[in-house]
Structure 1
Amino acid sequence: MTRKLPPRRLLAVAAALALIGHQAKAETAQPGRTTTEDTDTACPLGTFHCPPKPPSYAMCRPNAMLDFYDPTLSRDPSLRETSPTSVLAQHVDSSDQAVYHLSGDVKLDRADQKLQADSLDYNNVSTDYDARGNVRYQEAGQLLSASHMQGNTNASHGIAHDVSYQMLDARGNGVAEQGQMFDAQRTRYTRATYSTCDVGHHVWEFRAKSIAIDKTTGVGVARNATMRLGKVPFLYLPYISFPVNDQRKSGFLYPVFGKSSRGGFELSTPYYLNLAPNYDATLDPRIYTARGPMLGGEFRYLFPRTRGQFNVQYVPDDRGERVGLEDTKDTERYLVNFSNVTRLWGSWNLISSINRASDSGYYYDYGEDLATTGAVVRTLSSNVAVRGAGKWWSAAVGATVYQNVNPFVTDASLQYRQLPYATFSMDVPLTPWLEFGMDTQAVAFRKPGYIEGEREDLYPYLAAYFGTPAWFVRPKVAYRYTAYQLDGDFQKYGGSRGALLGAGGISQFTEQSPTRALPIVSVDSGLVFDRSTSLFGSSYTQTLEPRLYYLYVPYRNQNNLPVFDTRLMSFDYWQLFSPNQFSGADRQMDANNLTAALTSRLLDENGVERMSVSLGQIHYFSPQRVVGNDWVHSAYVAQFGLQLSDRWRLNSSYQWSPNTRMTEMGSFELQRRVGDDGILNVSYHYRRNLLEQYGVSGVYPLSDRWRVVGAVAWSVPDGHSVEAAAGVQYDSCCVALRLVERNYVKQSGYGHPAGSGNQRDNAIMFEIVFKGLGSSGHQIDSLLQRDILGYQ
């Protein structure tokens, strides 16, 4: 029979809600349903920084829920207050008007809620209830089964025995001998388990004597807990707290295990401190078997006008071999990183970035294992600046210093310190087609043992734009004025044109206040033609874009100007249209040049560029005296890109010089997607007299659970790899394993004693990810994202 009961006669509904709604929130949606993570497309080809994928539960059993789950039940809890309650039972006894006795396959339905039991008693006056025999409950977010459940709906307390639970909005599930509800927010489980694995197939789980849940604070506490892999306990914790919602929570993070040749085996056991809503900290005690203990720490803060982060690593007594410190007894070492942004007034901010190591060998011994991004660190920079910006201007005043952290070279390799510097830039539209701009800089350069002084660089300009979508003309007139004030002992230093270019003679500086002033005139122009075409059965728009760029800069003798921060840049395609081939203001090239370039593109029906090819060359009407060549033409520069589908992509560039009749530069990059979760990259990079390097990297799925990863960068002149990494990854419903080994160059051979060569090292790291609980740090991912283009 079916009867309508008032909303308060839901029997055990309140108890079921409190007993289940407590588990730690995992990162997926209802099991058995398609989640966002499973339907996201792969990272687009060519993307340098692919976002990490959230934990995938695609390999979990789609029916891994308690067997009474009803997929047709409503998923909207807001319908409860307005929905009637439907009760179905084989027998109903209401002879006592205060107590209802229901038996025989009892079923109650209301909106998203469903309760089933063999028998159920309900007191209409006291709101006590007693459900017995095969008790099953479902609502929008969870499932619960028990042998016996009793309590009081008004007081929101109750006790359930022989509990099994399954969360639907998260993957948490487990069993408990008893569940006790104190009120609607506080629950305690006795002899309970928790896991995000399939129901009845726990690869890992927590087992605890008791688990207490407080939903108001978002904290769960487990006492006398063990974590198990299968049936094997591997971690005992007499007390552990964990978050049960999105709130941050103090507690241990998962440990990191690794090994490197400099540090030996490494164990890190970080502890997170949730100190306040706007600041927190992490303590990271570590032990290196070859070096001893280290204490690391991180402090983050966020206030209305300031935010920042402070990181420190402190080694009280380094027992390992110390490069560059062989003659000292100081075994205390440290690394400090501090960054901060403070709003001062209006758009002005104080920006700080302080990085300091105890000695030049710190990164060599501690900082370049598998746990870092993999880049060789040779210099630490520290900067403090006040910066502001408006609609048409930006400005900064600050200072920058550098520290050498390559123990195999002297401090002579460091850049000049800028103590202080000031910059100002503006770009003001005068009319719809004309703008006035200016870039200015004033810097005081300091470097012991080298010429020092101040430099001012003023760069005002007028730029116009004329054109339509089919053509454009962009004339620009600029004036560059650079002035120096050298320190009093400037005459004892030599000025060298060869310091920049590797040629020329050395002369003494003869002026304490040398200057350079010259105009810079350019005209950039182009046309755009397009037509419809087809290729391989698809329709495209093809463009043809000729472009001419004229540049005039008169020659100025600059041999008597010091070189503080300027280098001759490598010649690339964009320099066909650049007013200067030097970085920094110490040198301005002379020019009487005309660049001719041609570009053609294929655009699909959605406007996406599927192919592009460009070819260009500079014609020199007069010799380049500052750069130091008398060529009539530059190298031919060509670029080619092709991506006709989302499965593969090709990029290449090439430079051939008619002056040397040799290839100056060449690069080739091919990226191919393998299946839905694999990627393959093949590359070749060549620059004459500088490098020749092959690279292969990829992720290859062997099956749904296994995939191999690897990356090799091979230097042809050196005859060995610059870096090689290989590993294997295993993925399952609730556990992922990663193992990677890396062999790499720690420091370059530049500046080493004869025969020392490149300094190499090996590192290995193992990472285990318990889905829904976090992992040991995702440090392997950061390395593979750098080495494997398209890795996720």
Structure 2
Amino acid sequence: MAPTAAEIDWRPRDQLPAEQQAMLPAYCDGGYLQPDFSDRQSPLFESGSGGNTQMPIEASGLNARYEVDTQLILEGDVRLSQGTFSAQGSRALYDQATGQMSLSGPIVSRGQGFLLTGDSAEYDANTGEMEVNTATFLIHAAEMRGQAGYLSRPSENIVNIEDGRLTTCSPDSNAWAIVAADIELDRAEGFGTATHVRLEVQDIPVFYWPYATFPIDDRRKTGFLYPSFGTSDTGSGLFISTPYYLNLAPNYDATITPQYIHGRGLFNEVEGRHLSDYGESVLQLGYINDDQAFSDEFPGEDGERWGLDFASRANFGYNWTGYADYSVVSDDEYLSDLNRSLDINEVTHLQRRGGIRYDSRHQYFEAYLSGYQTLSDTITDSQKPYSQLPEILYGADYEWGVVETLVESQYTYFHRDNTDLTGLERANGHRLRLAPELALDFRAIWGYSRPSVTMDFTQYQLEDYTVREDDTFSRSIPIYEWDNGLYFDRRDSMFGIPYNQTLEPRLYYVYSEFEDQSYIPDFDTALKDFSFDQLFSPQRFSGGDRISDNNRLTAAVTTRFNDLNTGIERARLSIGQVYYYDDREVSLNGQGADDRSDSPLAGEASFRPLDTMDIRVSGLWDPRDMKTEEGRSQLVFHSEDYRYLATLGHTYDRDDFEQMDIGAVFPVSDHISLIGRWLYDSQADRTAGSLAGIEYTDCCWSLQLVSQNYLTDDRKLENRILFQVQLKGLGGSGGSGDRISDAIYGYDEREQRRFGRTNVRY
């Protein structure tokens, strides 16, 4: 029996070139190897019938019989070509009068990226039409093989297949296949159509479509995408969805996803995308007319629920860009109950923001409007954030030798509903802030010294302000800084590897006088968390309503180890401490003031002993109490092919919480991997989240099944079962992949290496 097209070019792993073996995943036993046919195109799709039919026919064989002006008969190792068409077989008959060529098999016809075999073929040299009986074919780029009872090419862009079968599995595997009575491939439109289509798994039919369309190149095509389904016990229950993709125009499209959710009813989501000369916009909507479970949980509610998310990015040229983000939902429970595709997380505030920005080498300008929707009933009116209507920013920096001048400026109008508020919390109003800076920047190869002075000026004009008689006032505070550093380095070797070690001591001094600011409202200010980076900042507060009083010196040192062979920083260790010469008196809501003369030791370290391993540690240690105040450590490891993934983490806050997390993807064989993550809250002595599952991966398909526990907004531990089936070349269904990638670092990279993601439409 003659070999199929796939069998001709299939090679076991050990017979592939070394570079191809290196790219082949461990769960694949081999791959396709094609000769170089860079001067030819596919025998199915020619460059044009006119181009081929004007070319002479070239033919050869071991035996030939020629009848003048009638026919040519070739036998034994017959080879034919006309332009880009080429074929070989055992016998050929060419009718000179009609231009018909009959080729007896087994025949083989090859082109760049395509191989075709058959029992017999008919080729019309005048029109380029071709017909093949009992055909098999192989598309190398897609690693897709197929067979057909009958294959014809009536025109240069159309191929018809009867009794066709397609799969991306290896020649000896029938894990899955798409089988159809009739298939038409249209290169001009970039898609194929098929009738009476069924999906077979191990030669057993498991799904049927009366009609299907699918892409044969990168162009998009209107049609249904893979259905998905799953379950959880968060009130959503069992759900099934059938997305429908609309390719409306080259620059805009839409996806409609109707889905039935047990206990809730019919829920619809719509996503529209638009691409213009300036940028891209995405609109996402979700709507359910009568959510039965919601009505039962909240008597009096009508069950009509909806969500919207809009995002847009634009580039206007000449360094100008624009953006818009707007999210809104009908109720506080929408995100946890219904949201599946809206690109917004389960948060307490949904931000709406839109503006323009200019960026150049020495200047930037930004103007925007910003507001929020608060989703939690536990947040009081005084805790709700202010809207910025608008906020305008401008900054510039220039250098003249060692002289630097910088300016940062900000104008904002702050507003929120203050009907039920009193005192400072009731105030709305305008704030103008200017912070010009003058500095001398001395730099050399051995170090630097940078003294500077900044005048921080703020002007307020307030509304509904009752703390003082005057609702218009200003604040001016000069800030003096002096930042100094030295560089030392040496070369050595460790384990036979040359490296460069640096030693970088640093002294930073800052002074700013105390000024009473307790009469100023808190529009956008919060106390910053103390960390290593905070050692070199003059501000204890974010925002602009509090300016820190300072008289302190920071001493710190950093050392780095750089691999001279690769240039990779293998290790970095930093430690520092602040020494205070005055008490800190400026506070915000009772926080930020302190009379301690020194800070905890702040440190951070990172190690990369291997190119596939990262270890990061940061924390605060109090030398007085000899105790750790805060700590965060994380180890991340992955093999070069990302088959092995592991993360270890520990987070500690002395006054708040302690959590540990472990995540891993661990292969127990070439095909089976275990997936897991566990998050443990030591303070509450409980599991804060977990994920456990199994994954089976073959060279042409994979299956994931995972169980996930997670905390809801009301601190209850809920469970859901998720799955995902992935068919190479046809995409997948289910939603476990997104959940796993959220939990385990490196999982997205692993998925991209395992499969390309192309959706089939039916």
Letter in 2 for 1:447: D
Whether 2:606 is the aligned partner of 1:641: answer yes
User: 1:31 and 1:77 mapped to 2: Cα distance?
Assistant: 29
Give the deviation of 1:666 after TM superposition.
Answer: 1.6
Whether 2:606 is the aligned partner of 1:631: answer no
Map 1:92-241 → 2, pairs under 5 A: 92-108=64-80, 115-241=87-213
> Counterpart of 2:155 in 1: which secondary structure?
coil
For structure 1, which segment, 389-398 or 262-271, has the greater mean C-alpha deviation from structure 2 after superposition? 389-398
Map 1:196-595 → 2, pairs under 5 A: 196-261=168-233, 262-321=235-294, 326-342=298-314, 347-367=319-339, 376-406=346-376, 409=379, 413-431=383-401, 433-448=403-418, 449-450=420-421, 451-454=426-429, 455-488=431-464, 490-491=465-466, 508=467, 511-595=470-554
Aligned to 1:620: 580
> Counterpart of 2:143 in 1: which secondary structure?
coil
For structure 1, which segment, 372-381 or 698-707, has the greater mean C-alpha deviation from structure 2 after superposition? 372-381
Q: Flag the 1:546–1:603 CA change in 2: closer, same or farther, 3 A.
A: same
Give the deviation of 1:127 after TM superposition.
Answer: 2.2
Aligned to 1:782: 738
Q: Conserved in 1, the CA contact under 8 Å of 2:230 and 2:722?
A: yes
Aligned to 1:772: 729
Q: Conserved in 2, the CA contact under 8 Å of 1:654 and 1:665?
A: yes
User: 2:214 and 2:14 mapped to 1: Cα distance?
Assistant: 22
Aligned to 1:505: none
User: 2:446 and 2:276 mapped to 1: Cα distance?
Assistant: 51
For structure 1, which segment, 225-234 or 287-296, has the greater mean C-alpha deviation from structure 2 after superposition? 225-234
Q: Conserved in 2, the CA contact under 8 Å of 1:372 and 1:783?
A: no
User: 1:407 and 1:362 mapped to 2: Cα distance?
Assistant: 14
Whether 2:632 is the aligned partner of 1:667: answer yes
Give the deviation of 1:607 after TM superposition.
Answer: 3.0
User: 1:306 and 1:373 mapped to 2: Cα distance?
Assistant: 18
Q: Flag the 1:190–1:462 CA change in 2: closer, same or farther, 3 A.
A: same
> Counterpart of 2:611 in 1: which secondary structure?
coil
TM-score, scaled relative to structure 1 = 0.84
Give the deviation of 1:469 after TM superposition.
Answer: 2.1
Letter in 2 for 1:731: T
Letter in 1 for 2:514: Y
> Counterpart of 2:338 in 1: which secondary structure?
helix
| Number of equivalent positions | 714
Q: Flag the 1:675–1:532 CA change in 2: closer, same or farther, 3 A.
A: closer
Superimposed CA distance per residue, residues 275-318 of structure 1 (whole angstroms, 9 cap, x where no aligned partner) = 11111111111111121111111111112235311100111110
Superimposed CA distance per residue, residues 50-81 of structure 1 (whole angstroms, 9 cap, x where no aligned partner) = xxxxxx766444366xxxx8x55644428999
> Counterpart of 1:575 in 2: which secondary structure?
helix
User: 2:628 and 2:673 mapped to 1: Cα distance?
Assistant: 39
For structure 1, which segment, 338-347 or 621-630, has the greater mean C-alpha deviation from structure 2 after superposition? 338-347
Q: Conserved in 1, the CA contact under 8 Å of 2:395 and 2:406?
A: no
Q: Flag the 1:534–1:84 CA change in 2: closer, same or farther, 3 A.
A: farther
Aligned to 1:499: none
User: 1:680 and 1:404 mapped to 2: Cα distance?
Assistant: 37
User: 1:135 and 1:122 mapped to 2: Cα distance?
Assistant: 15
Give the deviation of 1:357 after TM superposition.
Answer: 0.1
Letter in 2 for 1:62: G
Letter in 2 for 1:148: S
Give the deviation of 1:683 after TM superposition.
Answer: 1.3
Letter in 2 for 1:462: L
Whether 2:660 is the aligned partner of 1:694: answer yes
Superimposed CA distance per residue, residues 429-450 of structure 1 (whole angstroms, 9 cap, x where no aligned partner) = 3446423322323232323334
Q: Flag the 1:708–1:110 CA change in 2: closer, same or farther, 3 A.
A: farther
Superimposed CA distance per residue, residues 580-610 of structure 1 (whole angstroms, 9 cap, x where no aligned partner) = 0111111111101110001111111143211
Give the deviation of 1:647 after TM superposition.
Answer: 4.2
User: 1:274 and 1:116 mapped to 2: Cα distance?
Assistant: 41
Q: Flag the 1:216–1:675 CA change in 2: closer, same or farther, 3 A.
A: closer
Q: Conserved in 2, the CA contact under 8 Å of 1:631 and 1:659?
A: no
Superimposed CA distance per residue, residues 378-422 of structure 1 (whole angstroms, 9 cap, x where no aligned partner) = 221111223333332222222211112235555654312222222
> Counterpart of 1:364 in 2: which secondary structure?
helix
Give the deviation of 1:95 after TM superposition.
Answer: 2.8
Letter in 1 for 2:451: P
Q: Flag the 1:463–1:337 CA change in 2: closer, same or farther, 3 A.
A: same
Q: Conserved in 2, the CA contact under 8 Å of 1:74 and 1:111?
A: no
Letter in 2 for 1:453: N
Q: Conserved in 2, the CA contact under 8 Å of 1:741 and 1:763?
A: yes
Q: Flag the 1:510–1:571 CA change in 2: closer, same or farther, 3 A.
A: farther
> Counterpart of 1:93 in 2: which secondary structure?
strand
Aligned to 1:46: none
Letter in 2 for 1:439: S
For structure 1, which segment, 110-119 or 232-241, has the greater mean C-alpha deviation from structure 2 after superposition? 110-119
Consecutive unaligned residues of structure 1, counting only runs of 5 or more, are 1-19, 21-29, 41-55, 492-507, 750-757
Which structure has more relative contact order (CA 8 Å, sep 6+)? It is 1
Q: Conserved in 1, the CA contact under 8 Å of 2:438 and 2:454?
A: yes
Letter in 2 for 1:519: P
> Counterpart of 2:335 in 1: which secondary structure?
helix
Letter in 1 for 2:493: S
Give the deviation of 1:622 after TM superposition.
Answer: 0.9
Q: Flag the 1:411–1:712 CA change in 2: closer, same or farther, 3 A.
A: farther
Superimposed CA distance per residue, residues 183-204 of structure 1 (whole angstroms, 9 cap, x where no aligned partner) = 1111211111111112352211
Letter in 2 for 1:94: Y
Letter in 2 for 1:631: R
Aligned to 1:48: none
Superimposed CA distance per residue, residues 187-222 of structure 1 (whole angstroms, 9 cap, x where no aligned partner) = 211111111112352211111111111111112111
For structure 1, which segment, 239-248 or 111-120, has the greater mean C-alpha deviation from structure 2 after superposition? 111-120
User: 2:289 and 2:648 mapped to 1: Cα distance?
Assistant: 45
For structure 1, which segment, 738-747 or 103-112, has the greater mean C-alpha deviation from structure 2 after superposition? 103-112
Map 1:727-738 → 2, pairs under 5 A: 727-738=693-704
Q: 2:560 aligns with which of 596, 601, 604?
A: 601
Q: Flag the 1:740–1:77 CA change in 2: closer, same or farther, 3 A.
A: same
User: 2:358 and 2:416 mapped to 1: Cα distance?
Assistant: 25
User: 1:484 and 1:31 mapped to 2: Cα distance?
Assistant: 75
Q: Flag the 1:590–1:385 CA change in 2: closer, same or farther, 3 A.
A: same
User: 1:556 and 1:220 mapped to 2: Cα distance?
Assistant: 74
User: 1:60 and 1:720 mapped to 2: Cα distance?
Assistant: 41
Letter in 2 for 1:774: G
User: 1:601 and 1:63 mapped to 2: Cα distance?
Assistant: 44
> Counterpart of 1:237 in 2: which secondary structure?
strand
Q: Conserved in 2, the CA contact under 8 Å of 1:486 and 1:513?
A: yes
Give the deviation of 1:565 after TM superposition.
Answer: 1.4
Provide the identity percentage.
29
User: 1:280 and 1:468 mapped to 2: Cα distance?
Assistant: 56
> Counterpart of 1:320 in 2: which secondary structure?
helix
Superimposed CA distance per residue, residues 715-757 of structure 1 (whole angstroms, 9 cap, x where no aligned partner) = 111111222111221111211111222111121x5xxxxxxxx
User: 1:664 and 1:362 mapped to 2: Cα distance?
Assistant: 38
Give the deviation of 1:702 after TM superposition.
Answer: 1.2
